[in-house]
A and B are shown apart, each in its own frame.
Chain A
Amino acid sequence: GENVEQHPSTLSVQEGDSAVIKCTYSDSASNYFPWYKQELGKRPQLIIDIRSNVGEKKDQRIAVTLNKTAKHFSLHITETQPEDSAVYFCAAILGYATDDMRFGAGTRLTVKP
């Protein structure tokens, strides 16, 4: 099965609303979980990351939560703005003592003005 599953594949919200994207991973040894944002025609760029010794991390309007027991992590964007529209990818290190990282299939977020 997929190493990292991401849902939903598309998400449309009104400006000012919150957006939540969820990912699950299969390897319990995974310990690093970054989120990348890719705007149309551009390269992916890291927006936030979390390690397995932390349950939640926030950076202004963006937060990531991690549930190690359930093996899922989520991206939360509050007070969404049109410039948040992009494709968001979650990722996880595959296993222990490795830098082998696998990405989810991506979520296309559209923020309507």
Chain B
Amino acid sequence: DGGITQSPKYLFRKEGQNVTLSCEQNLNHDAMYWYRQDPGQGLRLIYYSQIVNDFQKGDIAEGYSVSREKKESFPLTVTSAQKNPTAFYLCASSLVRSGRWGDIQYFGAGTRLSVL
């Protein structure tokens, strides 16, 4: 499945609860990304990280948090501050090549998050 694994496939969140979505890649990619996809809509960037221990906010970072302690892993936490978390979450990774910006992003299979 392209070397990028997301888990779980389905996740349910209770009111006021924080939940964490896992994303692991074995492609030796430097950059990792989290996107949110709502029905009939495009991909909106939540956070991205180009290097370990560093990450940047995307368009819709409020209510989410990330960490990048290892190159292979980029977990996303959906906090209780995110009032409308129901969506399909996609993780992606890409190479960062010296002197070349932008490269193919490989996506995981996604996590579908619902609110109980």
A interface residue numbers (CB < 8 A to B)? 6, 31-32, 34, 42-46, 49, 51, 89, 93, 96-106
Contact = CB atoms under 8 A, between A and B. Distances in A.
A9 B107 CA distance: 22
B43 A96 contact: no
B56 interface: yes
B102 A32 contact: yes
Contacts of B41: 105-106
A76 to B, nearest CB: 20
B11 interface: no
B102 A31 contact: yes
Residue from B33, B56, B102, B110 with most neighbouring chain A CB atoms (10 Å): B102
Main secondary structure of the interface of B (DSSP, over half): loop
Interface string B37-51: 000111111001010
Given A97-B101, A99-B48, A43 B108 contact: yes
Counting chain B residues whose Cβ lies within 8 A of the other chain, the interface size class is: 20 to 34
A98 B101 CA distance: 6
A11 to B, nearest CB: 14
Given A43-B2, A44-B43, A44-B90, 4 more contacts: A32-B101, A99-B96, A100-B45, A103-B45
A102 B47 CA distance: 11
Contacts, number: 60
B41 to A, nearest CB: 6
B107 A43 contact: yes
B59 interface: yes
Given A34-B104, A46-B105, A96-B101, A103 B56 contact: no
Contacts of B96: 99
A102 B107 contact: no
23 contacts: A32-B101, A34-B102, A34-B105, A42-B109, A43-B107, A43-B109, A43-B110, A44-B43, A44-B107, A45-B107, A51-B102, A93-B101, A96-B101, A99-B96, A99-B103, A100-B58, A101-B33, A103-B35, A103-B42, A103-B44, A106-B40, A106-B41, A106-B42
Residue from A43, A102, A105, A106 with most neighbouring chain B CB atoms (10 Å): A43
